[in-house]
Homo-oligomer: A and B are copies of this chain.
Amino acid sequence: MSDTRHTTREMLPEPTLRRLPWYLAYVKTLDAKHVEHVSSTQIAKRLNVDASQIAKDLSFLNIKGKTRIGYEVHPLTKALNEFLGFKYRHNAFLVGTGSLGSALMRDLGLQQYGLNIVAGFDVDPSIVGTTVAGIPIYDFNELAARQRSTGVSIAIVAVPFENAQDVANALVESNIKAIWNFTPYRIKVPRNIVLQNTSIYADLALMYNRMEQNGSNAKTATK
């Protein structure tokens, strides 16, 4: 990895970073079919993104297409996979092993993207000591000690939203450097901590709303 690339990575705007996984998913399908080259026009047509935007996005990775030939599919796939961090293993703790939390522990899909959940944590004594998908579940009180012994820096938060802030505070004190928040609660963390929110339920609300607009929302009153 060159220093130059590292520098360009730091300046990478979020919209670019959000488009790169689309390009990766597309070129992976081509790579699987042993297609050798792809033009930005082809990617553009397939993904509904401007060809000039694609060229600009990929230039952040110091990747340039060749005139008339385009990009080499296999090297592009490898470069995107590396750049996005998916080819590295990042160990993580998961806090809150309820329905969503244990679903994430079972979802081996995350491993393909470099996320390796090494331990779960909960406060429920009937769950502590058990395993989910072979991953041990410890008492939440042990998290700080286990962070010290393992050096894990990522924590996934899947607790009930009422507890999200308290858990986040405890994680920061336990030397966790990045929090992936799956609760709908907007937790606050110090500036030096990376916070990533994944708002599954906001996406759901958006989908319901758009269906309502289309008159295609077949819903039933329940509560």
Binding site for B on A (CB under 8 A): 6, 9-10, 12, 14, 17-18, 20-22, 24-26, 28-29, 32, 46-48, 84-91, 98-100, 102-104, 106-110, 113-115, 151-154, 161-162, 177-178, 180, 183-186, 188, 192, 194, 196-214, 216-223
Contacts and interface: CB of A to CB of B under 8 A. Distances in A.
A200 to B, nearest CB: 6
B186 A196 contact: no
A179 to B, nearest CB: 9
Given A211-B153, A221-B87, A205 B21 contact: yes
Nearest to A220: B89
Nearest to A161: B25
A104 B107 CA distance: 9
Contact of A99 (B87, B108, B202, B210): B108
